[in-house]
Amino acid sequence: MIILGLDPSLSCTGWGVIRSEGSRIVHLANGQVPTDAKAPMPERLAALQAALAEVIAAHRPDRAAVEEVFLNKNPQSTLKLAQARGAVLAACGAAGLAINEHAARLVKKAVVGTGGAEKAQVQAMLKVLLPGVKVAGADAADALAVAIADAHLAAKF
């Protein structure tokens, strides 16, 4: 099963692709999709959707896993995150991918063992689970964690 993990963000969306074979996880690819902060919102969202469509076409995942939206203290930030997430979901939907959505705390619990884990703990665990893998950045690391969590959670059912 090839899983595309996604960490939506308007500034930089992370993506990670793994293959799950029983309890074995193999890294296939990861990256980040930044958008131009000076560009109009419709252009940024279109660029994000187009870039993810290319990732999907290149790696042909069986399903996608996306981190759920969390509420920021700033309503504008939450709205921008939701719009980016919409572009991410649209790219997956256009490709016909089934999508599993996971809360950040559940992802951290599945990967690290505790839902209150810090980003550094998640990244350290990725080094254990995917030894030798060069991760494109923090957003790509989060996306790989989402994919791994999805694989672990699917194995339980």
Binding site per annotation, positions? 7, 67, 139
Measure the CA–CA gap between 151 and 157, rounded to whole angstroms. Answer: 10
Whole-number Å distance between alpha carbons of 33 and 133: 19
- Take residue 92 and report the two structure tokens written for it: 């997956």
For residues 116-134, one letter each, b for 16 or more C-beta atoms within 10 angstroms of the residue's C-beta and e for the rest, the string is: ebeeeebbebbeebbeebe
Active site residue 68: no
Query: How many angstroms separate the CA atoms of 1 and 118, rounded?
Result: 28
Establish whether 7 is a catalytic residue.
Answer: yes
Q: Tell me if residue 95 falls in helix, strand or coil.
A: coil
Instruction: Single out the catalytic residue among 36, 43, 118, 139.
Output: 139
Clarify whether 139 is annotated catalytic. Answer: yes
Binding residues for Mg(2+): 7, 67, 139
Q: Which of 67, 68, 101, 118 is catalytic?
A: 67
Residues assigned a catalytic role: 7, 67, 139
